[in-house]
Each structure stands twice: as C-alpha cells, then as structure tokens.
Amino acid sequence: MNDISKQDIVTLVKLQEAETEIVRLNSVLEEVEKEKIKIAKKLKQFKKALDQNQEDLEKAQMMCRDSEQEIQVVDDRIIISNEHLRMVKTNKEYQLILREVDDNKKRKDALETEFLEFMDERDKIESIVSESGKEYLLLEEQISSEQAEIEKKSSNDKESLEEYLNQQKDIGKTLAPALMEKFRKISKMNQGLAVTRVKNEVCLGCFMNIPPQLYIEVQRGNSLISCPQCSRILYYVNTD
C-alpha cells in the first residue's frame, strides 16, 4: 500500500473538485459548438432555397425576354409582308403573301398568349423571391443574435475552464508526480471522476460495498486506497 499524507488526500480531493468542473465545462462547450453548427446549417439551408428561387426568377425573366423578342420578330415580318402586299403584281402572289401575313398573325397571337403566361409565372416567382428574401433577413438577424448570446455565454464558460485548469495546475504542484499521474490515469478511465468519497462502506463512485478492512484504512487516511470495483481513489469525511 502506498503511504500518503492526510494533506495529499486533501489535495487529491481539491484536484477532483477542479476536474469535475473541467469535465462539466468541456462538455457544455462541446454542446455549444454543436449548437453553433446546427444554427449555421439552418441559415445555410435557407440561403440555398433562396438561391434556387433567384435562379428560377432569372430563368422566368429570360423566358419573358425571349418571348418578347420572338413576338417582335414575327411583328417585323408582318410589317414587311404588308409592305410587299402593296407592291405585288399578280393575284397569286397577293394570295401567297396574304396567307403569310395570316400565318404570322396566328403565330403572334399564340406567342402573346404564351408571353402572358410567362409573365404570370415570372410575377409569381418574383413575389416568392421578395417574400423569402425578407424572411431570410429576419432569420439572419435572429440567428446572429442567437449566436451572439451563445458566444457570450460560452465565453464565460471558457474563462471558468481556464481558471479551473490553472487552479488544477497549481494544486498539482504540491503532489508527487507519480500520484498526479495516477490521478490522471484513473480520471481518464472514469469519465473525469478519479477521487471519490466512501460512506457507510459504500464507494460513492460506483455504489458498491467495499470490504470492512479497507473501509477502516480509508478512514485512517494515511494510505492510498483504491476501490476494488472501479479503481477510484477513496477518501473518507467524518460527517457525524
């Protein structure tokens, strides 16, 4: 059995108190990072949908422009044909051009109907883009204030973590390096709980009974006793 002083045990308990806070703060900060990623993802997804809407709008605008140009082309043809009509010499030629004008007018009607549909579609998408653009700005604002809130909260936690780490370093200086190493090892194996109280012959780390002889030794407090079940360093506090 390793002989240690009562002061060593006090030091180990203090080391554990800091360790518990360090483990807690690390896990809080880890959650914060996850939350931040989640929030950023939400905004990114919305932006993606917004970009898609914008792309749809550009396509619809292009369809309108193309359709307008096509109508213009057909219109020009009608004008030219009408001019020809005035200059033709034969009836056959006249009929031919007349039919051409007629065909082009039909084509123009069809194109105009199509153009109206394209415009309707464009207006619909335009209002979607405008609405979702406003929504995006609101979401962006909301998210940036959420992130600022999280940042503020976690900066306090980061500060505390730094303090506990320094505190632990200072406490550790008064311990023998081998004991410190043992503490580290046990803590790593037990999710940050290396030193635990024994009460009524029960280890409060794993809640198993410890043998009476070991309990007596823990109560004496002048040797390093580990729980036979969970290997945690045991200590006793007289609460009577």
> Where along the sequence are the contacts to Zn ion (CB under 5 A)?
203, 205-206, 227, 229-230
The residue (of 177 and 212) whose beta carbon lies closer to Zn ion is 212
The residue (of 23 and 206) whose beta carbon lies closer to Zn ion is 206
Q: Identify which of 9, 50, 1 has the alpha carbon closest to the alpha carbon of residue 176.
A: 9
231: left (phi over 0), alpha (psi -120 to 50) or beta: left
The residue (of 175 and 230) whose beta carbon lies closer to Zn ion is 230
The residue (of 13 and 206) whose beta carbon lies closer to Zn ion is 206
Residue 232 contacts residue 194 (beta carbons within 8 Å): yes
Residue 5 contacts residue 222 (beta carbons within 8 Å): yes
Kind plus residue range of the DSSP H or E element containing 124:
helix 91-173
CB 47, min distance to Zn ion, A: 52
Distance CA 86, CA 144 (A): 71
| Strand order from edge to edge, sheet including 202-203 | 202-203, 195-199, 233-235
Residue 46 contacts residue 133 (beta carbons within 8 Å): no
CB 204, min distance to Zn ion, A: 8
CB 213, min distance to Zn ion, A: 16
The residue (of 87 and 207) whose beta carbon lies closer to Zn ion is 207
CB 198, min distance to Zn ion, A: 9
The residue (of 179 and 203) whose beta carbon lies closer to Zn ion is 203
CB 14, min distance to Zn ion, A: 20
Compute how many other C-beta atoms are within 10 angstroms of the C-beta atom of residue 76.
11
Distance CA 85, CA 89 (A): 9
The residue (of 97 and 198) whose beta carbon lies closer to Zn ion is 198
The DSSP-derived string for 140-187 is: HHHHHHHHHHHHHHHHHHHHHHHHHHHHHHHHHHTS-HHHHHHHHHHH
How many residues make up the chain in this entry?
240
CB 174, min distance to Zn ion, A: 25
Whether the CA torsion 214, 215, 220, 223 is positive or negative: it is positive
CB 232, min distance to Zn ion, A: 5
